[in-house]
């Protein structure tokens, strides 16, 4: 149902990409990567939103974006000036992008500014604010419903912002319609000097930081990455670290670390991604599928300590988001001037 929207976006962004790319880069391999990434966004039904983010930035030149999730691994967003994270510099693999929704924050502008722009300038879909029946903070989720595909059983009302809103929990419809999350993110104020230590701001991050004692940007990225994940540090690598069986360089902190390790051990890229998806989706480690994965890893000489670590992990995030968080705190001016 989003095919026409994404097809138009693909044609538009291909032209913009080609115009920009040859002014900045000359590497045809990088351009080929950008084409593949555009296809990934197209297949995930979110390319037309990227087009609107791009056009909004062209109109409001001082807006910048902060992306949550594996979408930070996409070089095409960096080339288009939408993202601060350079995936080439930080060795981020685009193959790891398999996010199910688009989660983006606006800097310097309110969420309502972009929603208003989207409402005025789109001619292909309804923007429906996602009401939820639980207490989770999900006020910034929106359903994008192409014209002609409205579910007659879905009940709407106009909220105080004059935006269509679901009267019932939007999760009921998120499997049918594209859901995006648009939030605001604010730069740190009141600091004479922006420092990496300011990115350590949760009890879990502080505990990990106190243990591994980060010094460089790469170290802080590891802290942020591992802190976001479930059973990646606590009752897993924390024990191995304190026993000196791991150090800050050998920690598994992100999906990218797992992917890089598996590829170096001659495991097929698609299979490596399947293993990571299995871990991220809390699948049963006692299942026959995981036993098959274990055998493949053992046959490819993956170390016992690596297998033990990833078996204990219940979910793990990408390195790209942690990089974005660190850069956001570290360099306010550069984050805006992409």
**What tens digit of pLDDT does each residue of 284-332 get?**
777 889 999 999 999 999 999 999 999 999 889 999 999 998 888 876 5
Among the candidates 117, 151, 184, a domain finishes at 184
Within 13 Å of residue 75, how many CA atoms lie on the same side as its CB? 21
Residue 190 has pLDDT above 60, yes or no: no
Region 256-267: what's the mean pLDDT? 96
For residue 336, is it within any domain?
Answer: no
Of 62-66, 73-77, 222-226, the poorest mean pLDDT is in 62-66
For residue 229, is it within any domain?
Answer: yes
For residue 92, is it within any domain?
Answer: yes
Whether 214 and 136 map to the same domain: the answer is: no
pLDDT at 55 (0 to 100): 96
Whether 232 and 164 map to the same domain: the answer is: no
Q: Which residues 6+ apart lie within 8 Å of 262 measured at CB? A: 271, 272, 275, 297, 302
Please report, for residues 101, 116, 158, 222, 242, the alpha-carbon distance to residue 167 in angstroms, rounded to integers and kept in the order given.
Answer: 21, 21, 9, 41, 51
Whether 177 and 257 map to the same domain: the answer is: no
Residue 337 has pLDDT above 50, yes or no: no
d(CA 82, CA 67): 9
Whether 174 and 69 map to the same domain: the answer is: yes
Residue 157 has pLDDT above 80, yes or no: no
Whether 84 and 203 map to the same domain: the answer is: no
For residue 337, is it within any domain?
Answer: no
SS3 of residue 253 by DSSP: coil
Residue 224 has pLDDT above 50, yes or no: yes
Among the candidates 160, 184, 208, a domain finishes at 184
Which domain range does residue 72 map to?
A: 3-184
Neighbours of 292 (CB within 10 A): 10
153-160 own/partner pairs: CB under 8 Å, 24+ apart: 156/128, 159/129
pTM for the complete prediction? 0.88
First to last CA, the chain: 34
Total number of domains in the chain: 2
Region 257-280: what's the mean pLDDT? 95
Among the candidates 154, 184, 214, a domain finishes at 184
Residue 239 has pLDDT above 60, yes or no: yes
pLDDT at 333 (0 to 100): 54
The percentage of residues in the chain with a pLDDT greater than 90, rounded to a whole number, is: 56
**What tens digit of pLDDT does each residue of 103-150 get?**
999 987 888 899 989 989 988 888 888 877 665 556 688 888 888 877
Whether 169 and 70 map to the same domain: the answer is: yes
Residue 209 has pLDDT above 80, yes or no: yes
Q: Which residues 6+ apart lie within 8 Å of 77 measured at CB? A: 37, 50, 67, 71, 83
Contact 117, 52 (CB under 8 A): yes
Whether 226 and 262 map to the same domain: the answer is: yes
For residue 332, is it within any domain?
Answer: no
Whether 72 and 140 map to the same domain: the answer is: yes
Q: Which residues 6+ apart lie within 8 Å of 127 measured at CB? A: 115, 118, 119, 142, 143, 144, 163, 164
For residue 137, is it within any domain?
Answer: yes
Region 5-19: what's the mean pLDDT? 95
64 has which bridge partners? 107
| Residue 216, H or E segment | none
Whether 91 and 160 map to the same domain: the answer is: yes
For residue 263, is it within any domain?
Answer: yes
pLDDT at 72 (0 to 100): 96
Whether 7 and 122 map to the same domain: the answer is: yes
For residue 297, is it within any domain?
Answer: yes
Whether 202 and 309 map to the same domain: the answer is: yes
pLDDT at 171 (0 to 100): 81
Within 13 Å of residue 252, how many CA atoms lie on the same side as its CB? 28
pLDDT at 329 (0 to 100): 80
Of 47-56, 135-144, 230-239, the poorest mean pLDDT is in 135-144
d(CA 302, CA 273): 16
Q: What are phi and psi of 126, to 5 degrees?
A: -90, 145
pLDDT at 244 (0 to 100): 94
Crossing angle, helix 111-121 and helix 47-59, to 10 degrees?
110
Whether 221 and 138 map to the same domain: the answer is: no
């Amino acid at each position: 149902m989003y095919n026409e929207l994404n097809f138009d976006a693909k044609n538009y962004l291909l032209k913009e990409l080609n115009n920009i790319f040859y002014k900045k880069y000359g590497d045809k391999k990088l351009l080929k990567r950008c084409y593949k990434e555009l296809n990934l966004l197209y297949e995930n039904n979110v390319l037309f939103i990227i087009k609107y983010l791009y056009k909004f930035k062209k109109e409001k030149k001082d807006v910048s974006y902060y992306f949550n999730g594996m979408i930070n691994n996409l070089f095409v967003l960096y080339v288009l000036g939408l993202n601060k994270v350079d995936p080439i510099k930080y060795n981020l693999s685009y193959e790891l992008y398999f996010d199910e929704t688009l989660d983006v924050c606006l800097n310097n502008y309110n969420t309502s500014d972009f929603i208003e722009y989207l409402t005025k300038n789109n001619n292909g879909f309804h923007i429906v604010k996602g009401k939820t029946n639980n207490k989770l903070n999900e006020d910034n989720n929106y359903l994008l419903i192409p014209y002609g595909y409205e579910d007659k059983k879905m009940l709407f009302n106009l909220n105080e912002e004059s935006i269509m809103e679901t009267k019932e929990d939007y999760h009921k419809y998120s499997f049918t319609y594209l859901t995006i999350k648009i939030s605001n993110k604010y730069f740190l104020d009141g600091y004479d000097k922006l420092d990496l230590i300011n990115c350590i701001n949760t009890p879990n991050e502080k505990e990990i930081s106190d243990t591994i004692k980060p010094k460089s940007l790469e170290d802080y990225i590891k802290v942020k990455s591992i802190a976001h994940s479930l059973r990646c540090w606590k009752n897993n690598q924390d024990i191995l670290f304190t026993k000196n069986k791991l150090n800050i360089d050998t920690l598994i902190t992100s999906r990218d670390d797992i992917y890089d390790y598996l590829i170096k051990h001659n495991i097929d890229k698609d299979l490596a991604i399947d293993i990571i998806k299995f871990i991220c989706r809390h699948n049963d480690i006692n299942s026959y599928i995981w036993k098959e994965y274990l055998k493949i890893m053992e046959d490819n000489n993956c170390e016992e300590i690596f297998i033990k670590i990833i078996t204990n992990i219940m979910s793990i995030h990408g390195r790209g988001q942690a990089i974005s968080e660190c850069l956001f705190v570290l360099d306010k001016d550069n984050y805006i001037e992409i």
